[in-house]
Structure 1
Amino acid sequence: MAKSMSPLLSLIVILLSSIMINHLPVASLKQWCVSMQTAKDEQLEDNINFACSNGIDCRPILPSGACFKPNTTISHASYLMNDYYQSHGRTNEACFFFFPNSAMLTSRDPSYNQCIYK
């Protein structure tokens, strides 16, 4: 018959297991709303105009801004769409409703160089 652990030893094992589990790396729960690769430029331009006319600071995508390069519609739209999404509660509506057929959520941080996505 196998011997059972003493209550104190059992408690130590449980505590150590809990500590180890709580220190395991956890995938980020943060998400970013960005342009779909298949989105049409016309839709992305509409998204840029929508974001800029609805309170989003568009200076980062101007020639002197941190997110100007690459100077592409998809890159500029992604930055602004995400800024809108982040500043409007990170809801599905703030990504998909306002940027129909052109937005997607990603858990991979799209920041690059000095262009930092919120």
Structure 2
Amino acid sequence: MEILVNSFGQEHNIFSSAVHNNLFFMVECSKISEYLSIMRSSFLVCLFVCSSCQASVSNGRKLQGKTWCVAQTAAPDDKLQAFLIATCERYNCKAIMPGGPCYQPANIHNHASYALDIAYRGTGVCNPDVGTPTITDPSFGSCHYP
């Protein structure tokens, strides 16, 4: 058995120090393993809860993970107008033209919301400058958003 004397004059049995350090390491590893097990369980619960949050109810219908893109309430009219023009050059905006089912109410916010949603369907991206995603179906009356 080897004895080590530290700078304070205390004697230490090298073998017992090594055993003590290994036991400390095993205890710490056990705590880490327990912590990871708890975290894994928490993650699975969170994943389940978050995935079930995608289901929502709108107009009495259950919607599974459906989202729309609508105009932000604070978006400036000039930015909404520019987006509307650019989008209707690229996509079919017949529904928000005079006589279309989504023309009324005839205002920039309503028309831009419809244009934002059809662009969102085409690109998968809700324009962050003027749009905001929603899980509430913006359809009304005879106006049905895609």
Which structure 2 residue ranges, 5 or more long, are not aligned? 1-54, 57-63
Determine which structure has the larger helix proportion and give its number. 2
RMSD: 1.2
* Correspondence list, 1:103-114, <5 A: 103-114=131-142
| Residue 70 (structure 1) aligned with residue 98 (structure 2) | no
Indicate the residue corresponding to 1:81 in structure 2. 116
> 3-state SS of the aligned residue for 1:84?
helix
Residue by residue over 1:69-112, the C-alpha shift from the partner in whole angstroms, topping out at 9 and shown as x without a partner, is: 00010000000110111122x2xxx212xxx4211000000000
Question: TM-score, structure 1 length as denominator?
Answer: 0.68
Could you say which structure has the larger radius of gyration? 2
| Residue 42 (structure 1) aligned with residue 69 (structure 2) | no
Amino acid at match of 1:82: D
> 3-state SS of the aligned residue for 1:65?
coil
How many residues matched? 85
Bigger relative contact order (CA 8 A; separation at least 6)? 1
Indicate the residue corresponding to 1:95 in structure 2. 126
Aligned-pair identity in percent equals: 32
Question: TM-score, structure 2 length as denominator?
Answer: 0.55
Amino acid at match of 2:126: C
Determine which structure has the larger strand proportion and give its number. 2
Which structure 1 residue ranges, 5 or more long, are not aligned? 1-25
* Correspondence list, 1:4-23, <5 A: none
Match of 1:52 among 88, 104, 121: 88
> 3-state SS of the aligned residue for 1:85?
helix
Residue 67 (structure 1) shift: 0.5
Residue by residue over 1:28-74, the C-alpha shift from the partner in whole angstroms, topping out at 9 and shown as x without a partner, is: 311101100001110000110111112x1111111110000000100
Return the alpha-carbon distance in structure 1 between the equivalents of residues 107 and 84 of structure 2: 12
4+ residue stretches of structure 1 with deviation over 4 A? none
